[in-house]
Homo-oligomer: A and B are copies of this chain.
Amino acid sequence: MSIAVIYGGTRAGGNTEQLAERALNGLEAERIYLKDYDIRAIEDHRHSEEGFRDRGDDYNAIIDRALRHDILLFATPIYWYGMSGPIKNFVDRWSQTLRDADRPGFREQMKAKTAYVIAVGGDQPLLKGLPLVLQFQHIFGFFGTTYGGYILGEGNRPGDIAQDREAMRKADLLHVQLKERLS
């Protein structure tokens, strides 16, 4: 059992990252910072004769790294009440992987995983972050991925998340769960 964390934020060391690292609390994990890579928007060629074209970016390398792990932790700041653009572009490309002859079994692999969502925003995330939670519910439901849980945290300025006691405690509980799974 092993963990991959997909970071969707565009700042280093932001509130979302702090909360996710609190959950990891030293556990080994593959950390993927999407902001450090070139991941382009999907070009929808599901219905073109020629099919999808390789976009020559970092996407395939990233999805291969993520798929090696049993547990996926999606850590995204809440931008405009949803996941960040970079993480959305990453997820959108899954439509391509579903038809990628070089990566057969994507759907089955995703079905076998457990996924968590950590999302931090500044404007009432416990209420206004709910559509994001529901969206991930539909995403994981598509594959049959187990939705292990989610944490919505509140933070605006750097470091604010430390003041969100509820989110911090939920991260501590998630840590216990993750540790049990790894052992």
Binding site for B on A (CB under 8 A): 9-11, 14, 35, 41-44, 47, 77, 79-86, 88-89, 91-92, 94-95, 123, 126-128, 130-135, 137-139, 142, 147, 149-150, 157-158, 165-166, 169-170, 173
Contact = CB atoms under 8 A, between A and B. Distances in A.
A95 B166 CA distance: 27
A134 B131 contact: yes
Q: List the 8 closest A-B pairs by CB distance, nearest first.
A: A85-B89, A131-B131, A131-B134, A81-B138, A88-B88, A41-B85, A131-B135, A85-B88
Contacts of A150: 126
A94 B91 CA distance: 21
Contact of A92 (B79, B128, B131, B132): B79
Total copies of this chain within the assembly? 4
Contact of A44 (B10, B81, B169, B170): B10
A16 B14 CA distance: 36
B82 A135 contact: yes
Given A80-B94, A169-B169, A85 B42 contact: yes
Contacts of A139: 80-81
Contacts of A169: 169-170, 173
A95 B9 CA distance: 14
Nearest to A158: B47
A166 B142 CA distance: 25
Contacts of A138: 80-81, 123, 128, 131
A51 B50 CA distance: 44
Nearest to A127: B137
Contacts of A92: 79-80, 84-85
Nearest to A42: B10
A3 B23 CA distance: 34
